[in-house]
Structure 1
Amino acid sequence: MEILKMTPLTAWHKGKGAKMAAFAGFDMPIQYEGIIAEHNHTRQNAGIFDICHMGEFSLRGPGAKDALNAVVTQDLDTLAPGKCRYGFLLNEKAGVQDDLIIYCLDTDDYMLVVNGACEAGDFEWIKNQLPKGPEFNNISDATGKIDLQGPKSFEVLKDILGADFVSPGYFNFKRITWQGSPLIVSRTGYTGELGYELYLDSSMTPAMWDKLAAHPLVKPIGLGARDTLRLEMGYPLYGQDLDTEHTPAEAGFGALITKQKPFTGQAALATVRERLIPLVLAGRRSARHYDTLHLPDGTQVGMVTSGSFAPSLGYCVALAYVADAHAVQTDFLVRTQRGDLEAKKSPLPFNPNGTARMKLA
């Protein structure tokens, strides 16, 4: 039997009657009052997510920028202190080892945020590619992470941090002090709504969570709604839509990689065998991971990686890899255990009404 790790908030979730399940080696809350209710609350107000299962690494010291630049797809020459950037760790075939966000804390001082299931492997893989000199540490156990997401999240944050708190811009962050302890407030998000990520000492995480949970606009949100929220925006999930067998270009992120300096996997990026495409399905019967994708004549051309009913839209959406030659097609069939479902290629995001980039006074 797998022994699951706990976050600093596991006891709180269980005390509130959350439905718990294994995720990335942790005992995590899947839902509290229900996925659709939690999804809609986040779209309309503000929700808090326990994301303490994520991994955080610190790389600092002379030469840190140049060393990390040779490992990741992000161009660190153009990443200034106070800014963060989404990108990838690639293997030699340009397959995605992981997707991650890099925070530039200062000159030659970085924090890397990786997926929890990849934490141990990512740390060893990066460590083995770094030269001697910069100090590289796994700070995951010492770091708590709470995501506050929803159009009312800035209003909530001002009530917690003070009326004079000024929001960072999109993919920017601030380093402040809360109750005598360091706090990083960043603005990226995985729901498509205005939102923030709060990084703080793991020992301070319950106190911050309690403050947020007590706010009248806030509800706790489980991983079930996190998945439907991200899928409505077309955001990928590592291990489903991103994996070591597909490149960022195949997953639709080729335009993000503009760096000219060499990095691991760079030479293989140009090879495109399949493409990740967005699909809309009529009705409430959703496609599932591993369902096969076919042309209307029955020819199999791909596989679904993510699929769900989209509560904000009232119909089902999915992501699927399809052979490059057929990626221009618009009409498909998804073969499920209960029969074929008609699917049409769609633009992204599925839900165009997100508030993530809204301007704040």
Structure 2
Amino acid sequence: MQEVTSVDKKTVLFQKHTDLKAKMVPFGGWEMPIQYEGIIAETEQCRKSVSVFDTCHIGEFRFKGNIATSGIEKAVSFYIEKIPVGRCKYGFLMNEDGGVVDDLIVYRLAEDELMIVVNAATCENDFNYMNSLLDGSSEFVNISEKISKIDVQGPFAKDVMKDIFDADFDNMKYFGFSHVTFDDKEILISRTGYTGELGYEIYSDVSQAEKIWDSLLADERVKPAGLGARDILRLEVGLSLYGQELDENITPVEAGLPFFVTFDKDFIGADVLRKQNENGTDRVKIAFEAATRRSPRHGYEIHADGKIIGEVTSGVFSTMLKKGIGLGLVETDFSKTGQQIKIVSGKTQIDAKICELPFYKGGTARKK
């Protein structure tokens, strides 16, 4: 989990976290809860029941204009025009070298209207970069300060949501969304998440956040979870974190995410990615399991055959597997499944082997 030490912002739910005696830490320029009752307990809660996460720090942009001609298409790695209204799509905001400026989700609100969801730490840079690519004919606004975002995740999330919100959750598809009235105001609920479990993300006006939070926690099946649990949950199912598996110097091909790139589309950096997809890369992302409970950490060296072959990008103790797990970037020649490796930091050495993703295969994210 990447942390930023400078803190100048608090979410609208900050007092709620304080009342729940959450441990707060700096993250992406925000003061955020890392845990409430404990990281392991919160991870197990999400896998077995329902957890609620404050993600109000995440950034949102609103676009309105001609998608085909405005310049918005050249910024991202997939065709925005091909997203049906009422659906959303994950992909990348790209630079000219094929690196990832950010990973994002684009919501198709109408034929000429989008909501673009980005990471907190990169929000301002993302907005300025995307705005510089537009031709001036469209409306493009950073609405982050007006929007709150709360995530509801876990195998019984749909049952909880049905009891609170009037939406057709039975027919809401994965990466689909609906507009719902709550407390006389319109909110947006999407079937998305970052845990590998059945889940929903709720976007509302900031004035509604506390009432939504309280309504969810009034259900005895629901408990709050912090960033610590969220990091374990996403890593157990192999999801990437911007700033670790992805950044401006790591391409989607190197990161093992070519399925989120439309290679026949012309976008910034597309030529670089096409060449990498055809010819391969010198380094690739790998997943590995430790032989013990010891946790690998970001920046630890990865060794094989007596030499350094790469480094760990993310690592945790897996609550479900009861062992250390991680992701890393290594030389392609040493990336085969089953390859024995050592994770090294000073005197610390952890025996591990490269494995397939996901680590945890019991997730309910695509449950019907």
Say yes or no: TM over 0.5. yes
The match for 2:302 is: 293
Contact 1:4 1:22 in 2 (8 A): no
In structure 2, C-alpha distance between the alignment counterparts of 1:167 and 1:342, rounded to whole Å: 45
The match for 1:126 is: 130
- Give runs of aligned pairs for residues 230-269 of structure 1, distance below 5 A: 230-269=234-273
The match for 1:305 is: 313
* SS across alignment from 2:60: strand
* SS across alignment from 1:227: helix
The match for 2:59 is: 55
1:268-287 CA distance string (max 9 Å, x none) = 11332310100000121111
- Give runs of aligned pairs for residues 171-186 of structure 1, distance below 5 A: 171-186=175-190
In structure 2, C-alpha distance between the alignment counterparts of 1:268 and 1:106, rounded to whole Å: 32
| TM-fit CA distance, 1:163 | 8.2
Aligned-residue sequence identity (percent) comes to: 44
The yes-or-no answer on 1:16 pairing with 2:7 is: no
- Give runs of aligned pairs for residues 52-91 of structure 1, distance below 5 A: 52-63=56-67, 67-91=71-95
The yes-or-no answer on 1:335 pairing with 2:344 is: yes
The match for 1:100 is: 104
| Structure 1 stretch displaced more, 194-203 or 69-78 | 69-78
Task: Provide structure 1 residue ranges, at least 5 long, that are not aligned to the other structure.
Answer: none
In structure 1, C-alpha distance between the alignment counterparts of 2:256 and 2:198, rounded to whole Å: 23
| TM-fit CA distance, 1:232 | 0.2
* SS across alignment from 2:252: coil
1:56-89 CA distance string (max 9 Å, x none) = 0011123467522111012123201000000001
Q: For residue 357 of structure 1, what is the amino acid of its counterpart?
A: R
The match for 1:282 is: 291
In structure 2, C-alpha distance between the alignment counterparts of 1:336 and 1:285, rounded to whole Å: 12
Contact 1:86 1:100 in 2 (8 A): yes
Q: For residue 307 of structure 1, what is the amino acid of its counterpart?
A: G
Contact 1:287 1:336 in 2 (8 A): no
1:240-276 CA distance string (max 9 Å, x none) = 1111111001001112212523101101113323101
The match for 2:329 is: 321
In structure 1, C-alpha distance between the alignment counterparts of 2:306 and 2:248, rounded to whole Å: 28
| Structure 1 stretch displaced more, 326-335 or 27-36 | 326-335
Q: For residue 331 of structure 1, what is the amino acid of its counterpart?
A: Q
Q: 1:68 to 1:44 in 2, by over 3 A?
A: same
* SS across alignment from 2:251: coil
| TM-fit CA distance, 1:331 | 1.2
In structure 2, C-alpha distance between the alignment counterparts of 1:34 and 1:305, rounded to whole Å: 24
Contact 2:70 2:134 in 1 (8 A): no
Q: TM-score, normalised by structure 2?
A: 0.94
| Structure 1 stretch displaced more, 46-55 or 268-277 | 268-277
In structure 2, C-alpha distance between the alignment counterparts of 1:288 and 1:3, rounded to whole Å: 23
Q: For residue 190 of structure 2, what is the amino acid of its counterpart?
A: S
- Alignment partner for residue 7 of structure 1, among 11, 20, 24? 11
In structure 2, C-alpha distance between the alignment counterparts of 1:322 and 1:123, rounded to whole Å: 32
| TM-fit CA distance, 1:348 | 0.6
In structure 1, C-alpha distance between the alignment counterparts of 2:68 and 2:138, rounded to whole Å: 5
* SS across alignment from 1:325: helix
- Alignment partner for residue 229 of structure 2, among 220, 225, 231? 225
In structure 1, C-alpha distance between the alignment counterparts of 2:284 and 2:117, rounded to whole Å: 26
Query: Hey, which bits of structure 1, 4+ residues long, moved more than 6 A?
Result: none
* SS across alignment from 1:78: coil
Q: 1:165 to 1:238 in 2, by over 3 A?
A: closer
Q: TM-score, normalised by structure 1?
A: 0.96
* SS across alignment from 2:121: helix
* SS across alignment from 2:42: helix
1:276-334 CA distance string (max 9 Å, x none) = 10000012111100000010x32111000000110011111100000122222611111
Q: 1:186 to 1:318 in 2, by over 3 A?
A: same
| TM-fit CA distance, 1:166 | 4.0
Contact 1:153 1:196 in 2 (8 A): yes
- Give runs of aligned pairs for residues 208-223 of structure 1, distance below 5 A: 208-223=212-227
Contact 1:283 1:315 in 2 (8 A): yes
| TM-fit CA distance, 1:341 | 1.1
1:148-191 CA distance string (max 9 Å, x none) = 00001000001111486545110111112111111111011110
- Alignment partner for residue 41 of structure 1, among 33, 45, 50? 45
Task: Provide structure 2 residue ranges, at least 5 long, that are not aligned to the other structure.
Answer: none
Contact 1:42 1:150 in 2 (8 A): yes
Q: For residue 306 of structure 1, what is the amino acid of its counterpart?
A: S
Contact 2:314 2:326 in 1 (8 A): yes
Contact 2:63 2:115 in 1 (8 A): yes
The match for 1:149 is: 153
In structure 2, C-alpha distance between the alignment counterparts of 1:95 and 1:42, rounded to whole Å: 33
The yes-or-no answer on 1:27 pairing with 2:31 is: yes
Contact 2:104 2:118 in 1 (8 A): yes
* SS across alignment from 1:79: coil
In structure 2, C-alpha distance between the alignment counterparts of 1:24 and 1:198, rounded to whole Å: 20
In structure 2, C-alpha distance between the alignment counterparts of 1:187 and 1:8, rounded to whole Å: 23
